[in-house]
Amino acid sequence: MEAARALGWPAGTVAARLARARTLLKKRLERRGVTLATALAAAAVADQAPAALMQTTIKAATLFAVGGAAAAGVLPASALVLTKGVLRAMFITRLKIATVVLLTLCTLAAGAGMAGWRARPAIPPDPDPQPGIQAARADEPPAEDLKQRVERLQRENERLNRELHDLRDKVTRLEHKVAPAREGGETVVYEGKPTAYWRRQLKDRSPKYRAAAVEALGAIAPVDRSVVPALVKALSDPGYAVSGTAVSALLALGEDGQHLVFYALRSGSPATRLHVVNALDHERLPPRLPVRVQIPALVRALADKDADVRAAAARALAGIRPIMPAVEVPALTGALNDPVVGVRLNAVQALQRFGSPEATPALLEALRNDNVEVRLAAVTALYSLPMMRPSVYTALVLATQDKSPGVREMARSTVLTHTVRASTPLARPTVARLAIIGLLKHDKNPAVRVAAARLVGSFPLTSETALALHQAAQDDSDPQVRKAAEEAYKHLTSQPKTDEGADTPAQRAPMRGGFGGGRAGRGGRRLGGPGSG
């Protein structure tokens, strides 16, 4: 209601326009990544204008209106400079508007003149004898009048043209006057050379000089944003050093610059995208660039149409040292199925770099990948994990049965290494034991089975360990394995028994082919498995 009164509009109109404005504003703000609520909240935070400031402003403004320059001595100089600047800018804007208006008028006038001139031959040279028609034309101006009107319009047109010309001159003069104050007067200098020099250097044929120019413009950009478009253009420069420097310079500009880089990454040409991704590679980045800027950009590039871009992004991601945020895992997992092998391999490596538990499921997933190289990379990645978890053991034991000998070998050594690495036998997790038992039972390589048998021998005595060794000692195809199992079994049974509920291994011995012991996650009591019936 208040608003309606203040504007002199009906309340309904105000409400409707307010609603429409809200929608418009919401849409446009969201396009810029701000929600209306946030923006309005930010607007509401601003505190009250200080009362003293209001008082001085009222007094000073009145003085200013009355005395203008005469009051200058009394008024605050900084505010006055600002006022004059704004007034001048408004004057120039008005001149420009006036120019446009005049141009329009001239065109209209010229058009009218032409129309009038064209209309002339349509009127018969001598008066029409018929009185009816004569009467009908009575209110039209006679030919002589029209002629005069055209002449008048033409004179007017000329005058307006002259005026327009003068005004244009005036605008140019004023702009010249303003320009030095805006740029020339306080030229930004980098290494003693003005911006204009560096802009010229940007056109040099040698990438070296272009890169230097980009670096200079990058240093100037925080002060003078007008060079930013040149930096954006340099993103597509064929020279890697040039585009790389441009990316660094833009990213150093804060959020604005980052948006520009991301935009290029989304919508640039394939070459530009590749350049940007390469530039985002860790080594070449400005030191203070947060990983939270770099990683999302690279992850986005993982989904690029262009295989080179994807591969470069995966490579860059694989090289990132700091721990990545967990949100990026799905994107990398997705990249595990990329048609390009390089992308897949680097994705695995990137996942490995994670070092955080979130990456492990993705790596285990990679163990089941169709591609041998990916599986191999995944096993390698798991090898360097600092701590083994039961699920990892299980997956690795399964991987020891992989089609590819390389993967099998790596999986075996990973399982063994990690078991040995665990500090004391008691600290070794039960599941690790089960995994080793699995190796002992199912591995095709006798050497592995021997190693596994020895390891099992060092485990605490339980029905499972004892049974597994007993079986191996009896049934293994390889004499060496049988021997090792035998020794391990003796060693084991000389220890005090820890698995309180289980029967003695001898009683269980007939249950051949009882398979389940090796599987991780099985409880000791369900040892018999399918053969126990």
Partner 1 sequence: MAARSMVAVLHYLRRLAGPPAGETTTDRQLLEQFARSHDEAAFAELVQRHAGLVWSVCRRTLTQAEDAEDAFQATFFVLARKAGRLRWETNVAAWLHAVALRTALKARTANARRQARERHVGEMRRPEANQAPAACEVKPVLDEEVQRLPWKYRAPVLLHYFEGKT
193 three-state secondary structure: strand
Residue number, 16 or 133, with CB nearest to partner 1: 16
CB of 343 closer than 8 Å to CB of 377: no
Q: How far is CA 30 from CA 23, 34, 217, 268, 373, in A?
A: 11, 5, 31, 23, 44
Residue number, 10 or 142, with CB nearest to partner 1: 10
Least distance from partner 1 to the Cβ atom of residue 5, Å: 5
Residue number, 79 or 291, with CB nearest to partner 1: 79
Residue number, 82 or 447, with CB nearest to partner 1: 82
Q: Which of 415, 403, 499 is closest to 449 using CA atoms? A: 415
Residue number, 83 or 495, with CB nearest to partner 1: 83
Q: CA-to-CA distance for 8 and 299, rounded, in angstroms? A: 54
Q: List the beta bridge partners of residue 112.
A: none
Residue number, 53 or 138, with CB nearest to partner 1: 53
CB of 407 closer than 8 Å to CB of 372: yes
Least distance from partner 1 to the Cβ atom of residue 95, Å: 15
Least distance from partner 1 to the Cβ atom of residue 219, Å: 6
Residue number, 26 or 491, with CB nearest to partner 1: 26
Residue 127 has φ and ψ, to the nearest 5°, of -60, 140
Least distance from partner 1 to the Cβ atom of residue 196, Å: 14
Residue 266, token pair as written in the block = 């989304």
Least distance from partner 1 to the Cβ atom of residue 274, Å: 25
Residue number, 22 or 292, with CB nearest to partner 1: 22
Annotate 154-175 with b (16+ C-beta within 10 A) or e (fewer).
eebbeebeeebeebeeeeeeee
Residue number, 227 or 395, with CB nearest to partner 1: 227
Residue number, 254 or 521, with CB nearest to partner 1: 254
CB of 154 closer than 8 Å to CB of 113: yes
Residue number, 68 or 523, with CB nearest to partner 1: 68
Residue number, 5 or 165, with CB nearest to partner 1: 5
Residue type, 437: I
Residue number, 62 or 356, with CB nearest to partner 1: 62
Least distance from partner 1 to the Cβ atom of residue 267, Å: 22
Least distance from partner 1 to the Cβ atom of residue 223, Å: 4
Least distance from partner 1 to the Cβ atom of residue 81, Å: 8
Residue 379, token pair as written in the block = 């096993």
Residue 525, token pair as written in the block = 């009591």
Least distance from partner 1 to the Cβ atom of residue 1, Å: 6
Least distance from partner 1 to the Cβ atom of residue 103, Å: 22
Which single residue is written with the structure tokens 């509920």? Answer: 501
Q: List the beta bridge partners of residue 189.
A: 194
Sorted by sequence, the CB contacts under 8 Å of residue 484 that are 6+ apart come out as 449, 450, 453, 454
Q: How far is CA 351 from CA 33, 306, 384, in A?
A: 30, 22, 12
Residue 361, token pair as written in the block = 């499921």
Q: Which of 439, 412, 421, 409 is closest to 385 using CA atoms? A: 421
Measure the CA dihedral 117/118/120/122, to 10°: 180
Measure the CA dihedral 5/8/12/18, to 10°: -80
Sorted by sequence, the CB contacts under 8 Å of residue 476 that are 6+ apart come out as 449, 482, 485
Residue number, 156 or 183, with CB nearest to partner 1: 183
* DSSP H or E segment with residue 190: strand 189-190
CB of 479 closer than 8 Å to CB of 496: no
**Exposed, middle or buried by CB within 10 Å (0-12, 13-18, 19+), for 523?**
exposed
Residue type, 392: V
CA atoms within 13 A on the CB side of 505: 21
Any idea what DSSP says for residue 385? -
388 three-state secondary structure: coil
Least distance from partner 1 to the Cβ atom of residue 275, Å: 21
Least distance from partner 1 to the Cβ atom of residue 233, Å: 21
**Exposed, middle or buried by CB within 10 Å (0-12, 13-18, 19+), for 226?**
middle
Least distance from partner 1 to the Cβ atom of residue 357, Å: 34
Least distance from partner 1 to the Cβ atom of residue 97, Å: 13
